[in-house]
């Protein structure tokens, strides 16, 4: 485990004439070689005070290529061997969801701080085990919710927090795709390996940025439905992954909707789809109604659009006084990793970064699946 150098001895003469020694670089590793893992690699490579010392994954040729690209000295194909034999301070996890808990718990038990991709785990029970491991080890556990770091989402949160629309009482948020089922027939569509479909994969992003923008209201109950209208027929694959891969049946949902009721009476309507007969361009959005106004953010093109304007709806002296708020692009995964490293460098705050907030998201998603399966409202 990384600890700042400090031998407990103070030399008054030296301290008065010499600047303090800098902290040694944090030794980082990334488990997972796909798109998400590569975002973490790029972030570690850009951040000062961090050395990316190892990466791990099953695709050896790709792993060696990435080692060359990012100047990484070590490639290990087995994540357990990586954790056992490589001195590390931090590790990013970007592998199939069923591996998140075992890799995270294994790292935390070895005194390694953990940043894992979303979803946190296949289910809340696994997520809770990860949080318990972080608390027992006294290490940082964070989850990569990169869309809350978008400049437009952060700007919306600021508008709401400063009271520009009064007190929020209703919100609607979605991420909708026309053809976006990732790798039909792969682990993504296998319930045992993935834990869920569109709701767990991209719906958790919608839930996260909606809760973040609204100021983290407490969820009281959910009522949800799920559907598998297209994926079960081999339809709705993403343009880059149209061919069936592997042998898995389509065992998860391709669309979900939920009504989320908060303890203060506020409500959120959440919708998400991997595949649906709708506009071909992806849409990620959120609209909030408040006592003194409303705000709406529509990101047409979803992740392809760096920043979108916020529309604010207000009256002044009984007349319409709507306006638009320009926003700046966020920093995505670089900000995710930067925030994680910042938390690691503040030992006095480690207890505030134990994965507890991400666990709340997992519990809400679990309740949505239970509601859909049982056809009833579920209280948290």
Q: pLDDT (tens digit, 9 = 90+) per residue, 209-259?
A: 999 999 999 999 999 999 999 999 999 997 665 444 556 789 999 999 999
Cβ contact 204:118 at 8 Å: yes
Residue 110 lies in a domain: yes
* 114: pLDDT strictly greater than 50: yes
Residue 372 lies in a domain: no
Q: Do residue 155 and residue 259 come from a single domain?
A: yes
Helices (H) and strands (E) in the chain, counts: 12, 17
| CA proximity to 77, closest of 63, 57, 61, 95 | 57
- Average pLDDT of span 3-13: 40
- Average pLDDT of span 134-163: 97
* 277: pLDDT strictly greater than 80: yes
pLDDT of residue 6: 42
Q: Which helix (H) or strand (E) element contains residue 285? A: strand 283-290
pLDDT of residue 349: 94
Residue 1 lies in a domain: no
Q: Do residue 21 and residue 163 come from a single domain?
A: no
State the pLDDT confidence band at 18, using cuts at 50, 70 and 90: low
Q: Do residue 141 and residue 161 come from a single domain?
A: no
Residue 362 lies in a domain: no
Q: Do residue 244 and residue 156 come from a single domain?
A: yes
pLDDT of residue 20: 58
State the pLDDT confidence band at 189, using cuts at 50, 70 and 90: very high
CATH code of 341's domain = 3.40.50.720
* 112: pLDDT strictly greater than 60: yes
Measured distance CA(261)–CA(380) in Å, rounded: 10
Cβ burial, residue 107 (10 Å; 0-12/13-18/19+): buried
How does pLDDT run across 121-132, given as a tens digit for each residue? 999 999 999 999
Q: In what order do the strands lie in the sheet with 168-176?
A: 323-325, 310-313, 294-300, 283-290, 168-176, 267-273, 255-262, 219-227, 378-379
pLDDT of residue 203: 98
Tokens of 182: 């990732």
pLDDT of residue 241: 56
Tokens of 234: 């081999």
Q: Do residue 61 and residue 197 come from a single domain?
A: no
Render 237-267 in DSSP notation, one character per residue: B-TT--S--SS----S-SEEEEEEEETTS-E
Q: Do residue 314 and residue 196 come from a single domain?
A: yes
* 15: pLDDT strictly greater than 50: no
Render 85-105 in DSSP notation, one character per residue: HS--SEEEE-S-GGGHHHHHH
Q: What's the domain count of the chain?
A: 2
Residue 187 lies in a domain: yes
Measured distance CA(268)–CA(339) in Å, rounded: 28
User: 139 CB contacts (<8 Å, ≥6 apart)?
Assistant: 1, 108, 111, 112, 113, 114, 350
Q: Do residue 290 and residue 157 come from a single domain?
A: yes
Q: Are strands 74-76 and 50-56 parallel, antiparallel or unpaired?
A: parallel
Tokens of 331: 């920093």
Q: Do residue 73 and residue 182 come from a single domain?
A: no
Residue 375 lies in a domain: no
* 309: pLDDT strictly greater than 60: yes
Domain that holds residue 38: 12-146+335-351
How does pLDDT run across 193-214, given as a tens digit for each residue? 999 999 999 999 999 999 999 9
Tokens of 273: 């789809």
pLDDT of residue 46: 93
**What is the average pLDDT value for the chain, to the nearest integer?**
92
State the pLDDT confidence band at 77, using cuts at 50, 70 and 90: very high
How does pLDDT run across 340-370, given as a tens digit for each residue? 999 999 999 999 999 999 999 999 999 999 9
Q: Do residue 303 and residue 163 come from a single domain?
A: yes
Residue 45 lies in a domain: yes
Q: Are strands 294-300 and 283-290 parallel, antiparallel or unpaired?
A: antiparallel
Q: Do residue 67 and residue 206 come from a single domain?
A: no
Q: What percent of the chain has pLDDT over 70?
A: 92
Q: Do residue 313 and residue 167 come from a single domain?
A: yes
Segments in the chain forming alpha helices (H): 12-17, 35-46, 60-70, 79-85, 100-109, 124-137, 151-161, 191-194, 198, 204-213, 332-344, 356-374
Residue labelled with tokens 């791990």: 56
pLDDT of residue 304: 74
* 68: pLDDT strictly greater than 70: yes
Query: Sign of the CA dihedral 213, 218, 223, 224?
Result: positive
Q: Do residue 55 and residue 185 come from a single domain?
A: no
CATH code of 173's domain = 3.30.360.10
Q: Which residue has the higher pLDDT, 267 or 18?
A: 267
Residue 236 lies in a domain: yes
């Amino acid at each position: 485990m990384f600890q700042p150098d400090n031998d407990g001895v103070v030399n008054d003469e030296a301290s008065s004439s010499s600047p303090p020694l800098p902290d040694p670089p944090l030794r980082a590793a990334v488990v997972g070689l796909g798109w998400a893992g590569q975002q973490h690699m790029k972030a570690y490579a850009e951040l000062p005070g961090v050395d990316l010392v190892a990466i791990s994954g099953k695709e050896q040729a790709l792993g060696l290529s990435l080692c060359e690209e990012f100047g990484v000295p070590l490639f290990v194909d087995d994540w357990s061997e990586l954790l056992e034999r490589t001195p590390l301070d931090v590790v990013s996890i970007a592998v199939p969801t069923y591996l998140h808990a075992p890799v995270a718990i294994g790292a935390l038990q070895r005194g390694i701080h953990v940043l894992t991709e979303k979803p946190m785990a296949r289910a809340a029970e696994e997520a809770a085990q990860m949080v318990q491991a972080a608390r027992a080890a006294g290490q940082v556990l964070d989850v990569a919710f990169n869309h809350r770091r978008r400049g437009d989402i952060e700007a919306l949160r600021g508008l709401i927090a400063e009271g520009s629309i009064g007190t929020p009482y209703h919100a609607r948020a979605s991420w909708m795709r026309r053809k976006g089922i990732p790798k039909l027939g792969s682990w993504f569509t296998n319930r045992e390996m993935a834990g869920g479909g569109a709701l767990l994969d991209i719906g958790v992003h919608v839930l996260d940025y909606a809760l973040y923008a609204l100021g983290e209201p407490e969820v009281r109950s959910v009522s949800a439905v799920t559907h598998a209208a297209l994926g079960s027929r081999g339809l709705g694959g993403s343009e880059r992954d149209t061919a069936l891969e592997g042998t898995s049946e389509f065992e998860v949902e391709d669309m979900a909707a939920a009504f989320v009721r908060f303890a203060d009476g506020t409500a959120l309507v959440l919708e998400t789809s991997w595949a649906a007969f709708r506009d071909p361009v992806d849409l990620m959005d959120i609209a909030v109604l408040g006592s003194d106004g409303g705000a709406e953010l529509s990101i047409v093109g979803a992740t392809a659009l760096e920043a979108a304007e916020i529309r604010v709806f207000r009256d002044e002296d009984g007349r319409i006084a709507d306006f638009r708020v320009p926003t700046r692009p966020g920093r995505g995964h670089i900000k995710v990793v930067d925030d994680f490293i910042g938390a690691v460098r503040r030992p006095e705050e480690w207890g505030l970064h134990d994965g507890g907030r991400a666990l709340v998201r997992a519990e809400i998603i679990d309740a949505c699946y239970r509601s859909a399966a049982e056809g009833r409202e579920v209280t948290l």
